[in-house]
Amino acid sequence: MSAVETVKVTVDGREVEVAKGTGVVEAAAAAGIESPVFCYEPRLGPPVGACRMCLVEVEGVPKLQAGCTLTAQDGMVVRTAGASEKAAEGQNATLEFILVNHPLDCPVCDKGGECPLQDLTFRYGPGQTRMTFPKRTFDKPIPISPTIALDRERCILCYRCTRFSSDVAEDGQLVARNRGAQSVIATFEDEAYRAPFSGNVIELCPVGALTSTQYRFQGRPWEIQNVPTVCGLCPVGCNISATTREGKVKRIISRNHPEVDEGWLCDKGRFAYPHLYAHDRLVDPLERLRGRGFTEISWDAAIDRAEELLRGAGGRIVTALSGSETVEQAYALGKLLRQGLGAHSAVLPEATSSALDAFRAPLSTIAAAELVVVLGDEAVADRAPIVDLWIRQARRNGAEVVEVVEAKLGKKLEERVSGSDRAVLIWSGRGGGGGARLAELGHRLGLDGKPGCAAFHLPGTPNGRGVADAWAACSDAEESNPEPIGLLIVSGDEAAADPAV
Ligand code: SF4
Ligand code: SF4
Ligand code: FES
């Protein structure tokens, strides 16, 4: 393996050695020096140098340089605002320039308190304005989608949102209209921004120009808690934080896991949380009375009634699981029923196979693949939305993506997969024995044990595999099939809708 070529750079008097091609902002970070930035966001692709917030002084270069677009060279001596009056003046002027039109809206802006523009102005900007003329205004807020509002006068034209739309989600729906000082962010032909990953632009926006219509005016940063958790709406399990205020979930935001979600969320994961408070959601126990429908009962009465039914069934119990339970819920249910009552019979949400364990790899493996083969009859974006973003990233990185609906590769494609060091198979659809067929294929093509290769089976339920494992872990007794069934326990809507139940 050839050694990585490196260069030595000095940032604010600290020498660091970084890989050749590294940008000055990253080299400064390697030296432990933070650069203030607005437009710089490596997940969006190459830097664009739009905001000039990262200005640095480079020895021997007369003008200040944008650190994000400048590549570190061997022997380069860089001074950031912390060590250079000239760089500090440049950053101060950049902020003064941005604030010429940015309104001083902070007390009524939803970004206030968690806003990079506020923070950087406080740290690097002028304490007061010299501009006395009126600022530019627009109609506001513009509902660019049912979930996103645009306050155009707050926009600092960093192009993070448009770059996400065109270069990451590839929906091409957010655009910059006009040129120069007249530039504004808009949707393509003023159509609503309807795309599966649109909500990410809210988090990317470094000011309060793009805000969530669900969260606007719902809480201030000092009134909320961001509780780390995991999205349970599809098998990906994106890392998220649930923003709560007074015990209620008010917002879902990403919590970057570079191997799972890279900090992106799909709109289902981000915006579906109001179902927690749906008016028709069951929050108290109901008892069905023969011929008289349901009636509300207290928790104590419900627990007594459940105990009576469970004891009365004498073990002739079948449990139907949905696959949307958490591992802990499934395990607790299994403990009670299997260990407590000897009721081992279950209808599991879907078939699962442990054969795929030989191909375990992080989802980020997809981005580095040279050949991605998607098998199955269901769109990846529907089964596991974030996997669709990983596949798009792989394609942008030069990978060939082949879709095989009938789940048969053909001889030529099989040869290419087995001859590749970076091939990934993805099963998105029905059948497949819970990954068994995919594992068999991967094994036949020699993918097991190859570090850059992987095989992913996208289950039809968010946690079918976890539920099956948790249920199995509760007892090693054989499953029994009681005849006749004394009691059927149905866990969740999906199980209730399962024809097998
Ligand atoms: S709307 Fe926000 S993310 Fe988009 S260009 Fe303006 S400031 Fe940047
Ligand atoms: S991709 Fe799946 S896990 Fe991630 S946010 Fe969307 S629904 Fe949730
Ligand atoms: S962060 Fe460098 S120009 Fe915007």
Band (pLDDT 50/70/90 cuts) for residue 1 is low
Nearest to 317 by CA among 293, 290, 345, 295: 345
The residue whose CA is least distant from atom 3 of ligand 1 is: 205
pLDDT of residue 433: 87
Considering the chain, tell me which residue range(s) the CATH 2.20.25.90 domain(s) occupy.
Answer: 221-277
Rounded to an integer, what distance in angstroms lies between the CA atom of residue 11 and that of residue 278?
54
Which of 198, 203, 229, 236 has most ligand 2 atoms within 8 Å of CB, for mutation?
A: 236
- In this predicted structure, the answer to whether residue 129 has a pLDDT above a threshold of 90 is no
Q: Which CATH architecture has domain 106-212?
A: 2-Layer Sandwich (3.30)
The model's pLDDT over 254-312, given as tens digits with 9 standing for 90+, comes to 999 999 999 999 999 999 999 999 998 888 999 988 888 889 999 999 999 999 999 99
Where in the sequence of the chain do the CATH 3.30.70.20 domains occur? 106-212
Q: What is the CA radius of gyration of the chain?
A: 28
Q: Give ranges for CATH 3.40.228.10 in the chain.
A: 354-458
Average pLDDT of the residues in 124-131: 90
Ligand 1 center from residue 163 Cα (angstroms): 10
Closest ligand 2 atom to residue 261 Cα is: 4
Q: Distance between CA atoms of 220 and 243, rounded to whole angstroms? A: 11
* Cβ-proximal residues to 169 (8 Å cutoff; 6+ apart), any chain: 195, 196, 197, 198, 200, 389, 392
CATH 3.40.50.300 fits 6-98, yes or no: no
**DSSP string over 369-403:** -SEEEEESSS-HHHH-HHHHHHHHHHHHTT-EEEE
14 lines ligand 2 (CB under 6 A): no
The preferred substitution site among 145, 156, 212 for testing ligand 1, maximizing ligand atoms within 8 Å of CB, is: 156
**Residue 261: Cβ within 10 Å count:** 27
The reply to whether ligand 3 has any atom less than 6 angstroms from the CB of 215 is: no
> Can you give the pLDDT at residue 500?
73
499 or 296, higher pLDDT? 296
Interval 389-431: pLDDT, tens: 999 999 999 999 999 987 788 999 999 999 999 999 999 998 8
Under the phi-then-psi rule, with left for phi > 0, alpha for psi from -120 to 50, and beta for the rest, what region is 262?
A: left
Please report, for residues 123, 246, 248, the alpha-carbon distance to residue 222 in angstroms, rounded to integers and kept in the order given: 20, 12, 15
pLDDT of 4 strictly over 60 = yes
Q: Which listed ligand is nearest to 207 at the C-alpha?
A: 1
Every domain range in the chain assigned CATH 3.10.20.740: 6-98
By most ligand atoms within 8 Å of CB, the mutation choice from 44, 68, 78, 94 for ligand 3 is 68
Helix 464-473 crosses helix 327-334 at what angle (to 10 degrees)?
30
Q: Which CATH class is domain 221-277?
A: mainly beta
Task: Please give the CATH architecture assigned to the domain spanning 354-458.
Answer: 3-Layer(aba) Sandwich (3.40)
- The ligand 2 atom at the shortest distance from the C-alpha of residue 230 is 3
Tell me the pLDDT band of 436, cut-offs 50, 70 and 90.
Answer: very high
Nearest C-alpha neighbor of 441 from the set 450, 432, 449? 432
Answer yes or no: is pLDDT of 496 > 80. Answer: no
Report the pLDDT value the prediction gives residue 478, as an integer from 0 to 100: 83
Angle in degrees, CA 172, 427, 362, rounded to 5: 75
Test site for ligand 3: of 24, 34, 51, 98, most ligand atoms within 8 A of the Cβ: 51
- Asked whether the beta carbons of 85 and 94 are under 8 A apart, the reply is no
pLDDT at residue 458, as a whole number: 95
Average pLDDT over the chain reads 94
Assigned token pair, 249: 């979930």
Proximal ligand: closest to the CA of 23: 3
Question: Ligand 2 pocket, 260 CB below 6 A?
Answer: no
Model pLDDT for residues 349-384, shown as the tens digit of each residue:
888 888 988 888 999 999 999 999 999 999 999 999
297 alpha carbon to ligand 2 midpoint, in Å? 35
Tell me the C-alpha distance between 333 and 271, whole Å. Answer: 29
Task: Check: CB of residue 368 under 8 Å from CB of residue 452.
Answer: yes
Tokens of 475: 């007892």
Please give the full DSSP string across 221-284, using - where no structure is assigned. Answer: GGG-EEEEEE--SSTT--EEEEEEETTEEEEEEE---TTTTTT---HHHHH-GGGGG-TTS--S
Is the CB–ligand 2 distance for residue 385 below 6 Å? yes
Q: Work out the percent of the chain whose per-residue pLDDT is above 90.
A: 83
Mean pLDDT of 329-352: 92
Q: Is the ipTM of this complex over 0.85?
A: yes
Distance, in Å, from the CA atom of 452 to the CA atom of 278, rounded to the nearest integer, reads 44
| Res 452 pLDDT > 80 | yes
Structure tokens at 436: 């068994």
Q: How confident is the model at residue 2 (pLDDT cuts 50, 70, 90)?
A: low
488 vs 243, higher pLDDT: 243
Residues 6+ apart with CB under 8 A from 403: 373, 374
